[in-house]
Structure 1
Amino acid sequence: MDGHDGVCTLQYESHSTTIAAIQQPLTHGLAPYSSDPGASIKSFNGKSCRLTPAALLILALHVPGAHAEEAVTPRLSFAGFGTLGVVHSSENKADFGATVLVPNGAGYSHPWSADVDSRIGAQVAANFTPQLSAVVQVISEQRYDNSYTPTIEWANVKYHFTPDFSVRVGRIVLPVFLVSDYRKLSYANPWVRPPVELYSLIPVSSSDGIDASYRVQRGELTNTVQATHGYNKAQLPGGGTVSAKDTWGVSYTAEYGATAVHATYHRTKLTLDSVKPLFDGFRQFGAQGVALAEKYDVNNKPHTFIGIGARYDPGRWFVMGEWGLTQSDSALGKRSAWYASGGYRLGQFTTYLTYAQAKVQSNMSDPGLTVSALPPFLAGPAVGLNAGLNALLGSAPIQKTLSVGMRWDFARNTALKLQFDHIRIGAGSQGTLINIQPGFQPGGKVNVFSATLDFVF
């Protein structure tokens, strides 16, 4: 934290990341990391910063292991956050969306869409004893059925066996990305949204189960290991579900000063029930059809994710990047993505540049059934099945995106962001676009403009 003319920049380092650029007025303070709503944090230059609701929200969201022994009496705390956004896409035969779990976005459905990034969230946290706490977070955003029905993002109980070892049970954030803890808290991120190339690899953000976190401090170096086990299920636009059971993973985070490094490995058994009719059809075509179904069906198939990310944020500027890889013995195949981003802060303004890429490292087509060997009355259905299989394989995203943006913290706890994305989609791919319409041409270029107002309260 730096003090400048009576204002200090609160820069908090959580178990998995560093959150910066929240400015607070100076006041006299209490102990660091206190859960007292009137508490403050000492700055590195000896001054202190009162924790406004914005800072309290950041701490509540991202301090799962922070000195639970300092909580003395049971108490409740409330915090909220939100984004009002609008997005324009130059593509008129498909939609740009932040996730594949929604039915539409900007482009074909709406030249200007307010659905892509807009959301509102609220969180209630309770400290029952110095060791026992609980949190519930509810978010309203565009869903698979195009509604804004509120959903429970987090709902878990946490127990600190020691100040550095804790266990949570319930609905818990999946710690797969560098900004997993606050991927939906846009105010805490420099961009309008996390790069879709990488974050679409794991579109779900939480799971139901248990996790354990253990922290080791060595001087200025903090090491945190987190193990998770659980399951989740998500509804898909147009019907069907995607479910992941027996999900387990291990994540490691190292923090040293302004540097944070995050690495993770997660494995699950994935089922995509919307493709079941397709592969049931293949199974009616003898040994060849059965072999194709066994190779590509997404039914309780192992699915792994490996990711690594790093950030350096000394205050005036930042650089960060992540890389991830998913692999499945199914039509989902092997996919990878990465991004690199950097920015510079000058007063209330932050400018940033991001480059992201998504690739497919498995086949995007297959000859399918040998139609010429079939009798005429079966040739037609076989051609349809082959077309369905290749449409599924070809839906894997290949694209490169160059993004430039600006953030303006023009008011307390409020930030305006503008971002321009130039997307180059790979040949034969639809990229990360959704709601593909007849006449869409794979490949090509798409320009996306976004404006958002992020706030916390």
Structure 2
Amino acid sequence: MQLDANFNRQWSVTTQWLIDKSVENDLNEVTELAFIRYVPNEYWGVRVGRIGVSAYSAADSRDIDFAHLWVRPPQELYGGIVFNSLDGVGLSYFSNNSEFNWSIKLEYGRNEQMGEVPQTIEAYTAELEDVLSASFEVEQGHWAWQLSYAHVNSLSVIQGATIQTLQSQLGQLVALNIPMISQEAATANELMGLDGEEIDYYQMALHYFDGLWTIKTELFHIQAKKESIPQGYGGYALLGYNINSLTPYAIYSRFDPEHTYFSTQSDWSAVNPSFALLQSGAEAGINSVRIDQQTYSFGVRWDITPQIALKAQFDYVDIEDFGYGLWASDTAIISSGRDVQVYTLNLNFVF
């Protein structure tokens, strides 16, 4: 739910709450946006509080289904982004040129959010510090373009007890100085730990809407120094056509990982049979977050009234070997790809 309140032409407040299957549903976790906006004139704008990030085109509306044709944002892009908002400040400049309008947006802040490891049902906390986002957008007629960049200076993840125990056992194996095996354990232990990691996001988007045709695409690249962080190239393309109150559409989206999956070459159980479980656990823990998939989506939106929309969408998802990073799956099956069909019926409304 989103609420907007305008006090006058210069001051306003925006809040957005989202209740989903989060680890916790306290006020802090369900609050997606909560900021004060100050607009001194027609060119400048300032936001302070929990603000959206302009690093991708649906930053402020990814959870407002009524604003889009799709029933959910393409997960190959939006499912792999580690932050939805920032606690900080945003600055924007709008040219307000009626024929060729352009804008620049900057945001700076931090983010902290909780997640859950599906296999152990244990919570973890991701802390992002010194996040800087910049976006350049242009609008002309029916067209809109966007170029954006975001830099996370420090990503740290505080894991639950199971992962911490696994890391401790890997550390003990490293200390044994067993040729090859200890080196592999050291590599696995280093990949599993996320402490002060840097991430860069690069994005470009295009949007066209003339009242009948809708064309939308986003291309992106995620780059990080640590290979265990999901990274690579991806994007999506959407095409829709309006027929009275109906808009059929199709979407193709893909994420192509930059690095191959993690695999050890030695047989740890040859030294001690109990090491076999440690070896498989380390490989599964690292590879379970790797993303490698593509999705074909077909749907239709029916605008029943100006405030109510009914949507139906079919998704055919092709998941590659060790590419289940967007799914809550059993680690025993992630080595083999599979196809998934998803059928969704959504009712969206605004008031």
TM-score by length of 1: 0.67
The counterpart of 2:132, out of the listed 248, 253, 271, is 248
How has the CA–CA distance of structure 1 residues 291 and 140 changed in structure 2, closer, same or farther, with 3 Å as cutoff? closer
Amino acid at match of 1:136: T
Equivalent-residue separation in structure 2 for 1:454 and 1:324 (angstroms): 28
Secondary structure of 1:187 counterpart = helix
The counterpart of 2:149, out of the listed 262, 265, 269, is 265
**1:282 to 2:141 alignment:** no
Post-superposition Cα deviations, 1:278-333, rounded to whole Å, max 9, x if no partner, equal 44443331473555544552111111111111111111111111112222222115
Residues 166-315 of structure 1 aligned to structure 2 (within 5 Å): 166-237=45-116, 238=121, 239-268=123-152, 269-274=154-159, 275-284=163-172, 285-286=174-175, 288=183, 289-290=185-186, 292-315=188-211
Residues 90-169 of structure 1 aligned to structure 2 (within 5 Å): 121-127=1-7, 129-145=8-24, 151-169=30-48
Determine the structure 2 residue equivalent to 1:443: 337
Equivalent-residue separation in structure 1 for 2:266 and 2:311 (angstroms): 50
Post-superposition Cα deviations, 1:106-138, rounded to whole Å, max 9, x if no partner, equal xxxxxxxxxxxxxxx1414242x4433222222
May I ask how many residue pairs the two structures share in their alignment? 332
Cα RMSD over matched residues? 2.6
Residues 292-441 of structure 1 aligned to structure 2 (within 5 Å): 292-330=188-226, 331-367=228-264, 371=268, 376=271, 380-381=274-275, 383-395=276-288, 396-430=290-324, 432-436=326-330
Equivalent-residue separation in structure 2 for 1:434 and 1:401 (angstroms): 17
Secondary structure of 1:389 counterpart = helix
How has the CA–CA distance of structure 1 residues 197 and 217 changed in structure 2, closer, same or farther, with 3 Å as cutoff? same
Structure scoring higher RCO (CA < 8 A, sep ≥ 6) equals: 1
CA contact (8 A) 1:363 1:393 kept: no
Equivalent-residue separation in structure 2 for 1:306 and 1:252 (angstroms): 12
How has the CA–CA distance of structure 1 residues 341 and 333 changed in structure 2, closer, same or farther, with 3 Å as cutoff? closer
Identity rate, percent: 26
How has the CA–CA distance of structure 1 residues 334 and 153 changed in structure 2, closer, same or farther, with 3 Å as cutoff? closer
Determine the structure 2 residue equivalent to 1:15: none
Secondary structure of 2:311 counterpart = strand
Equivalent-residue separation in structure 1 for 2:268 and 2:334 (angstroms): 27
Amino acid at match of 2:247: T
TM-score by length of 2: 0.86
CA contact (8 A) 1:368 1:389 kept: no
| 1:231, distance to aligned residue in structure 2 (A) | 0.9
Equivalent-residue separation in structure 1 for 2:234 and 2:155 (angstroms): 20
CA contact (8 A) 2:191 2:286 kept: no
Amino acid at match of 1:135: T
| 1:392, distance to aligned residue in structure 2 (A) | 3.0
How has the CA–CA distance of structure 1 residues 433 and 453 changed in structure 2, closer, same or farther, with 3 Å as cutoff? same
Structure 2, unmatched stretches of 5+, are: 178-182
Equivalent-residue separation in structure 2 for 1:150 and 1:386 (angstroms): 35
Amino acid at match of 1:245: E
Q: Which has the larger radius of gyration?
A: 1
Structure 1, unmatched stretches of 5+, are: 1-120
Secondary structure of 2:77 counterpart = helix
| 1:369, distance to aligned residue in structure 2 (A) | 7.4
